[in-house]
Structure 1
Amino acid sequence: MLLRLPLSIPEAQECLAEEAVPVGGATLVWAVWQRDGFPDLAMSLRDLPDAQVLGGGRLGSAVVLGRIDDRVPDVLRLAAATVGTGAVRRTATVGGNLVGSTLRCLLPAALVLDARATVLASDGVHETDLAEVIAKQPLLLGLHWRDPIASAYRKLPPDAGGPPPLVVASALHGDDGTGVRLRVAVRDGYDVFSGDTVCAADPGTDIDRTLHALHSTALGDLPPAAWDVVRPQVAGLLDGHGPVR
């Protein structure tokens, strides 16, 4: 297998034209390749500056999860910190987790940040939403967002041999001076549900109304056990405007 390490966007486009397979951190694909055979040509974005950005409301796809720190919102930092072991986080990348993984542990956090994605295609760089990233799995260059007022994250302990553990993420965003917008995303099994609602200017004054509004979104399809986690996280976030783990 020949591994290409593009240093610029044009070089990365050349790799795409040659049908190079993106490897991310190779934590997910290595075992598959050992079983099924290695591709003739692969590429890593680890040396591409656009894919190594960290901070200022941006996160590159080649950033390894272990590097993610307080330069990003709490919800994204905490999500990255719960992925695998320390050894995995030193190798696994943002792009590999969002595009190459079926678990997509970072997806709920990215959704509540209302993040947008920058992707590379044969005709150049484009901006798109996370739904298209998940559906079409393009070559992800990075994410960008507006920092929230506050955010929260919780991942339940996994059951041995069971489905992926429940993940709940939430964030408060300014809403043009009329109040704040609450975004919540939940991974239940392999499915991710999200919803949002506008809260009062002082969101801690009417938590019950906010939770009722969330029930009318896609989050309303969640089982009661998931709501047992959503409810206190949202209440704590609205009441204290601070991170809740």
Structure 2
Amino acid sequence: MLLRLPVSLSEARECLAEGAVPVGGATLVWATWQRDGFPELAMSLRQLPEANVIGPETLGAAVLLGRIDDRVPDVLRLAAGTVGTGAVRRTATVGGNLVGSTLRCLLPAALALDARATVLETDGLRETDLAEVVAKRPLLLSLRWRAPIACAYRKLPADAGGPPPLVAASALHRRAGAGHVVRVAVRDGYDVLAGTAVHGTGPEEALQALRATALGDLPAAAWTVVRPQVLALLEHER
């Protein structure tokens, strides 16, 4: 297998045009390749500057999970810190987790931030939403969002080898005009549900609005996690 390491967007586009298979930290694909055979040409973005950004409103797809620190909102930092073991976080990447993983541990946090994705195609860059990233698995270059007022994250404990643990992520955002917007995303099993509510009256009204979204399909046990998290988050508005 030939591994290409592009250092510019034009080089990365050339690799895509040549049929290079994108890899992150290869933590998810290595065993599959050993079993089914390695691709002739692969590509890593670890030397591409645009894929290695870290900041309060942006995160590159090639960033190792272990490098995610307080430069990004807490909801994303805490989510990254719960992925696998320290050894996994030293090799796994943002792009690999969001695009290649079935668990997508970073997805609830990214949805709570209302993040948009920049993807790279043979004809250039394009911005899209996370739904397309999950469904079509394009070459993710980076994430971008607006810094929230406050955010929160919780991952319940779970037994090794059992079902995925419940994850709840939320963020409070400024809204043009009166009030604020609260965004919540929950991973229940392998499903990730998200909802948005405008908070301009009271906390209970905001919770009712969230129940009217896809989050209303969550089981009662999930709401015992979501409810106190949202109420605590809305305290920042006062």
1:3 aligns with 2:3: yes
Q: Does the Cα contact within 8 Å between 1:50 and 1:60 map onto a contact in 2?
A: yes
The correspondence for 1:215, drawn from 211, 215, 234, is: 211
Aligned residue identity for 1:212 = Q
1:142-161 residue pairs with structure 2 within 5 A?
142-161=142-161
Corresponding residue number in structure 1 for 2:88: 88
Aligned to 2:66: 66
Residue 177 of structure 1 aligns to a residue whose secondary structure is coil
Structure 1 unmatched runs, 5+? none
Residue 239 of structure 1 deviates from its aligned partner by 2.1
The residue number in structure 2 matching 1:238 is 234
Amino acid at match of 2:184: V
Aligned twin of 1:130 = 130
Query: Which portions of structure 1, spanning 4 or more consecutive aligned residues, are displaced by more than 6 angstroms?
Result: none
Which amino acid in structure 2 is aligned with residue 93 of structure 1? T
- 1:55 maps to amino acid: G
Q: How many Å separate the matches in 1 of 2:12 and 2:107?
A: 25
For 1:218 and 1:174, the matched residues in 2 are separated by 22
2:19, 2:41 within 8 Å by CA — same for their partners in 1?
yes
Query: Retained in 1: the 8 A contact 2:150–2:236?
Result: no
Q: 2:221 aligns with which of 219, 225, 237?
A: 225
Cα separation, 2, equivalents of 1:164 and 1:218:
20
Q: CA deviation at 1:209?
A: 1.6
SS at match of 2:178: coil
Task: Give TM-score scaled by structure 1 length.
Answer: 0.94
Identify the residue that residue 99 of structure 2 maps to in structure 1. Answer: 99
Deviation (angstroms), 1:159: 2.4
CA contact (8 A) 1:155 1:167 kept: yes
SS at match of 1:71: coil
Secondary structure of the corresponding residue to residue 3 of structure 2:
strand
Q: Which amino acid aligns with 1:19?
A: G
Deviation at 1:240, TM superposition (A): 4.3
Structure 2: 5+ residue stretches without partners: none
Determine the C-alpha separation between the residues in 2 that align with 1:181 and 1:79. 21
- What SS does the corresponding residue of 1:153 show, helix, strand or coil? strand
Preserved CA contact (<8 Å) 1:150 1:241: no
Question: Aligned runs of 1:34-73 on 2, under 5 Å?
Answer: 34-73=34-73
The answer on whether the counterparts of 1:166 and 1:186 sit within 8 Å (CA) in structure 2 is yes
How far apart in 2 are the matches of 1:183 and 1:154?
14
Indicate yes or no: 2:171 matched with 1:168: no
| 1:119-142, Cα deviation, whole Å (9 max, x unpaired) | 011111111111111111000000
Distance 2:198 2:204 in 1: 13
State the TM-score, normalized to the length of structure 2: 0.97
Output the CA distance in 2 between the equivalents of 1:66 and 1:160: 21
Q: 1:30: which partner in 2?
A: 30
What's the offset of the Cα at 1:11? 0.5
The residue identity in structure 2 corresponding to 1:219 is: L
CA distance in 2, matches of 1:210, 1:127: 30
Distance in 2, Cα, partners of 1:224 & 1:33: 41
SS at match of 1:27: coil
Amino acid at match of 2:55: G
Fraction of identical pairs, as percent = 75
Displacement of 1:176: 1.1
